[in-house]
Structure 1
């Protein structure tokens, strides 16, 4: 059974691994225009945190599966090698809000006290939690190596339509992210432009995510410490395709970060990154047929690729396994009919 996974980011590679582990005999190829270190995930901060409330009952298991999977990896001797670590921090709001539906997945979820809120001028409500961090610049090379060890092939090329791939494979798994807008003509997918400034600030030990209910998520200041750098951000410009660096946006990022932690004013800049999140109202995981080929879609994760990746990969692998069974049964039936004549 020949299977193609379209997309070389965290969704594509994790989907390929889940399919291979579920169907070891399948011959897999990952087809993508870009691989690590040039994917959107390579530049992301990598915090495990879902949307605040816009989570369906179908999605909650995907979140739990991902957190459980990362928790198991965290206990291994190579967790640091793949950029995986625990981190505690704050979500702060300009008004009182309901608890998120995933509060029991993270560790130590609790509301902030009035004394704690004094640290965040302009914010009147919040919570504290411990979650997991996964830096894709380390995780994606590790996933790539695991896939190669299992005999999975990699093909770097740009494709104009999913039908190009469907001609050569029995089953296709579409993890094309933002490219799904053109590959399958899904106009619901649109870019969520972001900029991140990375600084040397080892004294910052907790993440801070701010929220204004009148704006899109990740469109207000955030500070997320990583293993070697601290990520400063606060942009989610929906519908903006510009991948260039904007000085005005950088100024706003700095202003927001220094308002939260004044000592960052003197932090040394180590890097700058611009990326386009594959934003969609709902993640798309479903099956359809393209040119008589079963296609499993798995895209539209926005800025939550790390948060959902393993759970969505397991779901996509389940759909792919069923499709492979049906293709095999159809092929077998066809051979039986021919043998009668």
Structure 2
């Protein structure tokens, strides 16, 4: 791994950075306030939050050791205000407990593949370059995309491509993969890209960008169990929030956004049984939504940062404890304790 903090800053333009800071900053004004960046990446959002909220302590979580190294260099000037942890973001409550920190005042989740992973050709995330079919966010563990392609039965591979890539030619692609791997196993991306192109009828290839995009997305989600993790991670993030704490989540495709939308909407809904004349306190909403639907990037931001084109941002504030959330208690540390 090469690079420096300056390299990270040059390579990474954080999506909706200013909006994320504006939404989280009101909850991070007190000394020792804890903000968790559950998807640290190259640390751009974390850097902005630490600069804007000088009283806050940051816990940065990422499953990618390379990201932790690069972000660590970028965030080194903030010294003891930063704690970086190699973990998956659905482990957030356990991470905070292990660090001896109380409930967080802010949580940020920037979902999907990071700029670092897309830009490192050898990781296999990009369909535009020939590279080993890896696609693991944490290259120290788990099966690769090549393992999926070379071992899944047709029905399982078709299910993955259809569900996670929303690819209507999934069955044809899966059948062609199984046929091709009988000749030679899949190792690098160029062969897969060519097979996908040949599997999709010419009229369908003329629209929607590179025809390999959907299948590569599906393989990446399967390899990293992204949706399974997300289904656990949003409740974990809400459980980690103190009362008056805020959560901001950015999703980049409909499958992710649907999970986030439903989790936040459920938290903002009263559970008082129908027919009761008053809302019972224990059934009052746990969350207050801070965004009306999903917010998107402006045209100017997309022009400056094309990766913002598909973002959907949702945010909420915790208004009370209960329903499995963080207990209504004071912070258990001081700023010095969090160092």
TM-score between the two structures when normalised by the length of structure 1: 0.31
Higher-strand-fraction structure: 1
Give the TM-score normalised by the residue count of structure 2.
0.31
Q: Which has the higher contact order (CA 8 A, sep 6+)?
A: 1
The structure whose residues are more often helix, as a share, is 2
